[in-house]
Amino acid sequence: MIVADRKKIPEIRDMIQGHDRVLLVGCGTCVTVCLAGGEREVGIIGAALRMSLKLVGRGHVVVDQCTIERQCEDAFIDILAQRVSQYDAICSLGCGAGVQTLAERFPQKPVYPGLNTQFIGILESQGVWTEKCLGCGHCRLGEFAGVCPITRCAKRLLNGPCGGSREGKCEVNADTECAWQRIYDRAKALGTLDRLDAIAAPHDWSTGIEGGPRKVVREDQCIAGLGPKS
Protein backbone atom coordinates (compact mmCIF):
# COMPACT_ATOMS: atom_id res chain seq x y z
CA MET A 1 0.00 0.00 0.00
CA ILE A 2 0.96 3.65 -0.28
CA VAL A 3 2.00 4.94 3.12
CA ALA A 4 1.58 8.57 4.14
CA ASP A 5 1.51 10.66 7.27
CA ARG A 6 -0.28 13.86 8.03
CA LYS A 7 1.12 17.34 7.80
CA LYS A 8 1.19 19.48 10.92
CA ILE A 9 -2.02 21.41 11.48
CA PRO A 10 -0.34 24.88 11.31
CA GLU A 11 1.11 23.95 7.90
CA ILE A 12 -2.33 22.98 6.58
CA ARG A 13 -3.81 26.13 8.14
CA ASP A 14 -1.25 28.33 6.40
CA MET A 15 -1.78 26.55 3.05
CA ILE A 16 -5.49 27.34 3.03
CA GLN A 17 -4.93 30.99 3.87
CA GLY A 18 -7.17 33.21 1.79
CA HIS A 19 -9.99 30.66 1.47
CA ASP A 20 -13.21 30.97 3.45
CA ARG A 21 -14.77 27.60 2.62
CA VAL A 22 -12.59 24.52 2.51
CA LEU A 23 -13.58 20.90 1.94
CA LEU A 24 -11.35 18.26 3.53
CA VAL A 25 -11.52 15.12 1.41
CA GLY A 26 -10.36 11.81 2.83
CA CYS A 27 -9.60 8.65 0.90
CA GLY A 28 -10.93 5.23 1.86
CA THR A 29 -8.12 3.17 0.40
CA CYS A 30 -4.35 3.08 1.23
CA VAL A 31 -4.28 6.09 3.55
CA THR A 32 -7.19 4.69 5.55
CA VAL A 33 -5.20 1.52 6.17
CA CYS A 34 -2.09 3.47 7.23
CA LEU A 35 -4.26 5.64 9.49
CA ALA A 36 -3.35 8.90 7.78
CA GLY A 37 -6.35 10.04 5.76
CA GLY A 38 -9.39 7.82 6.28
CA GLU A 39 -12.77 8.84 7.68
CA ARG A 40 -11.58 8.84 11.29
CA GLU A 41 -8.43 10.83 10.58
CA VAL A 42 -10.39 13.32 8.48
CA GLY A 43 -12.64 13.89 11.51
CA ILE A 44 -9.63 14.44 13.78
CA ILE A 45 -7.79 16.72 11.37
CA GLY A 46 -11.00 18.63 10.60
CA ALA A 47 -11.71 19.32 14.28
CA ALA A 48 -8.08 20.27 14.97
CA LEU A 49 -7.97 22.55 11.92
CA ARG A 50 -11.21 24.34 12.84
CA MET A 51 -9.94 24.94 16.36
CA SER A 52 -6.57 26.09 15.06
CA LEU A 53 -8.24 28.58 12.70
CA LYS A 54 -10.39 29.92 15.52
CA LEU A 55 -7.37 30.36 17.76
CA VAL A 56 -5.62 32.54 15.17
CA GLY A 57 -8.71 34.67 14.58
CA ARG A 58 -9.91 32.97 11.42
CA GLY A 59 -12.94 31.34 12.97
CA HIS A 60 -15.11 32.43 10.06
CA VAL A 61 -13.46 29.86 7.79
CA VAL A 62 -15.78 26.92 7.13
CA VAL A 63 -14.02 23.56 7.13
CA ASP A 64 -16.26 20.64 6.19
CA GLN A 65 -15.19 17.09 5.59
CA CYS A 66 -16.05 13.98 3.65
CA THR A 67 -14.35 10.75 2.66
CA ILE A 68 -14.67 9.00 -0.66
CA GLU A 69 -13.85 5.42 -1.53
CA ARG A 70 -10.83 6.24 -3.68
CA GLN A 71 -9.32 9.55 -4.73
CA CYS A 72 -7.14 8.26 -7.54
CA GLU A 73 -10.01 7.29 -9.86
CA ASP A 74 -12.38 9.65 -11.62
CA ALA A 75 -15.32 7.30 -11.13
CA PHE A 76 -15.11 7.68 -7.35
CA ILE A 77 -14.60 11.44 -7.50
CA ASP A 78 -17.75 12.14 -9.52
CA ILE A 79 -19.95 12.03 -6.43
CA LEU A 80 -18.03 15.04 -5.11
CA ALA A 81 -18.75 17.30 -8.08
CA GLN A 82 -21.88 19.00 -6.72
CA ARG A 83 -20.49 19.38 -3.23
CA VAL A 84 -17.15 20.83 -4.35
CA SER A 85 -18.94 23.69 -6.11
CA GLN A 86 -19.90 25.06 -2.66
CA TYR A 87 -16.27 25.48 -1.57
CA ASP A 88 -13.38 27.80 -2.41
CA ALA A 89 -10.71 25.12 -2.05
CA ILE A 90 -10.10 21.45 -1.41
CA CYS A 91 -7.63 19.96 1.04
CA SER A 92 -6.96 16.35 0.10
CA LEU A 93 -6.09 13.79 2.72
CA GLY A 94 -5.17 11.30 0.01
CA CYS A 95 -1.77 10.39 -1.38
CA GLY A 96 -0.07 12.50 -4.04
CA ALA A 97 -1.96 10.62 -6.75
CA GLY A 98 -5.26 11.50 -5.07
CA VAL A 99 -4.35 15.17 -4.76
CA GLN A 100 -3.47 15.36 -8.45
CA THR A 101 -6.55 13.46 -9.59
CA LEU A 102 -8.74 15.89 -7.66
CA ALA A 103 -6.81 18.83 -9.16
CA GLU A 104 -7.36 17.51 -12.67
CA ARG A 105 -11.03 16.75 -12.07
CA PHE A 106 -11.72 20.21 -10.57
CA PRO A 107 -9.54 22.60 -12.61
CA GLN A 108 -11.20 25.70 -11.11
CA LYS A 109 -10.49 24.73 -7.50
CA PRO A 110 -7.19 25.04 -5.66
CA VAL A 111 -6.29 21.63 -4.20
CA TYR A 112 -3.88 21.36 -1.25
CA PRO A 113 -2.19 18.27 0.19
CA GLY A 114 -2.93 17.49 3.83
CA LEU A 115 -0.58 14.49 3.87
CA ASN A 116 3.03 13.79 3.06
CA THR A 117 3.12 10.71 0.84
CA GLN A 118 6.02 8.55 1.97
CA PHE A 119 6.46 5.19 0.23
CA ILE A 120 5.09 1.83 -0.89
CA GLY A 121 5.26 -0.33 2.17
CA ILE A 122 3.76 -2.77 4.58
CA LEU A 123 2.39 -2.80 8.09
CA GLU A 124 5.36 -4.15 10.02
CA SER A 125 3.58 -4.14 13.37
CA GLN A 126 0.67 -2.22 14.85
CA GLY A 127 1.41 1.45 14.16
CA VAL A 128 4.66 0.82 12.26
CA TRP A 129 4.93 0.91 8.47
CA THR A 130 8.08 0.06 6.55
CA GLU A 131 9.19 0.77 3.01
CA LYS A 132 9.47 -2.35 0.87
CA CYS A 133 9.26 -1.30 -2.77
CA LEU A 134 10.75 1.56 -4.73
CA GLY A 135 8.53 1.02 -7.77
CA CYS A 136 11.60 0.86 -9.99
CA GLY A 137 9.71 -0.70 -12.87
CA HIS A 138 11.98 -3.74 -13.19
CA CYS A 139 11.38 -6.22 -10.39
CA ARG A 140 14.31 -8.48 -9.59
CA LEU A 141 13.06 -10.01 -6.34
CA GLY A 142 13.46 -13.46 -7.93
CA GLU A 143 17.22 -13.00 -7.99
CA PHE A 144 17.41 -12.00 -4.33
CA ALA A 145 15.32 -14.59 -2.48
CA GLY A 146 12.35 -12.25 -2.29
CA VAL A 147 14.16 -9.43 -0.46
CA CYS A 148 14.67 -6.20 -2.41
CA PRO A 149 18.22 -4.81 -2.07
CA ILE A 150 17.27 -1.85 -4.26
CA THR A 151 14.78 -0.62 -1.65
CA ARG A 152 16.12 -2.10 1.54
CA CYS A 153 19.89 -1.66 1.14
CA ALA A 154 20.91 1.94 1.78
CA LYS A 155 23.62 1.60 -0.89
CA ARG A 156 21.42 -0.39 -3.28
CA LEU A 157 24.14 -3.01 -3.62
CA LEU A 158 23.29 -5.94 -5.89
CA ASN A 159 26.25 -8.24 -5.27
CA GLY A 160 26.52 -8.77 -1.55
CA PRO A 161 26.75 -6.62 1.56
CA CYS A 162 29.12 -3.76 2.21
CA GLY A 163 31.53 -3.69 5.15
CA GLY A 164 28.96 -1.85 7.24
CA SER A 165 26.78 -4.89 7.91
CA ARG A 166 26.97 -5.52 11.67
CA GLU A 167 25.17 -8.45 13.25
CA GLY A 168 22.40 -8.24 10.70
CA LYS A 169 21.99 -4.47 11.01
CA CYS A 170 22.81 -1.64 8.62
CA GLU A 171 25.55 0.86 9.43
CA VAL A 172 23.36 3.70 8.20
CA ASN A 173 20.74 3.02 10.86
CA ALA A 174 21.10 0.47 13.64
CA ASP A 175 17.32 -0.07 13.62
CA THR A 176 17.38 -1.16 9.98
CA GLU A 177 18.00 -4.74 8.99
CA CYS A 178 20.85 -5.36 6.56
CA ALA A 179 19.04 -6.36 3.38
CA TRP A 180 21.91 -8.60 2.35
CA GLN A 181 21.85 -10.46 5.66
CA ARG A 182 18.13 -11.09 5.04
CA ILE A 183 18.84 -12.20 1.48
CA TYR A 184 21.57 -14.59 2.64
CA ASP A 185 19.48 -16.03 5.50
CA ARG A 186 16.47 -16.58 3.28
CA ALA A 187 18.45 -18.09 0.41
CA LYS A 188 20.18 -20.43 2.88
CA ALA A 189 16.85 -21.51 4.35
CA LEU A 190 15.48 -22.09 0.86
CA GLY A 191 18.59 -23.98 -0.24
CA THR A 192 19.24 -21.53 -3.07
CA LEU A 193 22.52 -20.00 -1.92
CA ASP A 194 24.15 -21.07 -5.19
CA ARG A 195 21.95 -18.59 -7.06
CA LEU A 196 23.73 -15.78 -5.27
CA ASP A 197 27.02 -16.85 -6.90
CA ALA A 198 25.88 -15.34 -10.17
CA ILE A 199 27.02 -11.76 -10.76
CA ALA A 200 23.97 -9.50 -10.72
CA ALA A 201 23.95 -7.09 -13.63
CA PRO A 202 23.71 -3.36 -12.97
CA HIS A 203 20.13 -2.23 -12.52
CA ASP A 204 18.33 -0.72 -15.48
CA TRP A 205 17.11 2.56 -14.05
CA SER A 206 15.49 3.66 -17.31
CA THR A 207 12.30 1.86 -16.22
CA GLY A 208 12.17 3.93 -13.01
CA ILE A 209 11.11 7.52 -12.37
CA GLU A 210 14.48 8.64 -13.74
CA GLY A 211 13.05 7.95 -17.20
CA GLY A 212 10.23 10.44 -16.58
CA PRO A 213 6.64 9.80 -15.44
CA ARG A 214 5.59 6.26 -16.33
CA LYS A 215 2.44 4.78 -17.78
CA VAL A 216 1.06 1.27 -17.93
CA VAL A 217 -1.21 0.60 -20.91
CA ARG A 218 -3.38 -2.47 -21.33
CA GLU A 219 -4.67 -2.20 -24.92
CA ASP A 220 -7.30 -4.89 -24.35
CA GLN A 221 -8.80 -2.87 -21.50
CA CYS A 222 -8.78 0.51 -23.26
CA ILE A 223 -12.15 1.68 -24.56
CA ALA A 224 -12.07 1.65 -28.36
CA GLY A 225 -11.44 5.09 -29.81
CA LEU A 226 -10.46 6.65 -26.48
CA GLY A 227 -7.12 4.98 -25.82
CA PRO A 228 -4.87 6.19 -23.05
CA LYS A 229 -4.97 9.88 -22.15
CA SER A 230 -1.94 11.68 -23.54
Partner 1 sequence: MDTDQELVILALCCHYCAYAAADMAGSMRLQYPGSVRVLRFPCTSKIEVNYLLTAFERGIDGILVAGCLEGGCHFLEGNLRARRRVERAKKLLDEIGLGAGRLEMFNLSSAEGPRFAEIATEMHERVVELGPSPLRRGREAVLAGVAGMASLAEAVIAGEKT
Q: Is 140 left (phi over 0), alpha (psi -120 to 50) or beta?
A: alpha
When binding is defined by CB under 8 A, the residue of 2, 16, 38, 50 that contacts partner 1 is 50
Neighbours of 102 (CB within 10 A): 26
d(CA 90, CA 103): 9
* Radius of gyration of the chain from its Cα atoms, rounded to whole angstroms: 22
Residue span 168-207 as binding mask against partner 1, x where in contact by CB under 8 A, dash where not: ----------------------------------------
- For residues 33 and 123, the answer to whether their CB atoms sit within 8 Å is yes
Confirm or reject binding of residue 116 to partner 1 (CB under 8 A).
Answer: no
Part in contact with partner 1 (CB under 8 A); list of ranges 24-32, 43-51, 108-116, 179-187:
43-51
Q: Is 43 in the site for partner 1 (CB under 8 A)?
A: yes
Based on the shown chain and the rule CB under 8 A, indicate whether residue 138 belongs to the binding site for partner 1.
no
3-state secondary structure of 21: strand
157 binds partner 1 (CB under 8 A): no
Residue among 139, 138, 122 nearest 130 (CA)? 122
Q: What is the closest distance, in whole angstroms, from the C-beta atom of residue 49 to partner 1 in the complex?
A: 8
Tell which residue, 76, 79, 80, 62, has the closest CA to residue 29: 76
Instruction: Give the total of residues touching partner 1 (CB under 8 A).
Output: 14
Q: How far apart are CA 205 and CA 191, in angstroms?
A: 30
Inter-residue contact 80 to 68 (CB < 8 Å): yes
- The answer to whether residue 40 forms part of the interface with partner 1 (CB under 8 A) is yes
Shortest CB 51 distance to partner 1, Å:
5
Stretch touching partner 1 by CB under 8 A, among 8-16, 93-101, 104-112, 200-208: 8-16
Out of 14, 44, 83, 214, the residue judged to bind partner 1 by CB under 8 A: 44
Nearer Cβ to partner 1 (7/182): 7
Residues that bind partner 1 (CB under 8 A): 8-10, 40, 43-44, 47-48, 50-52, 54-56
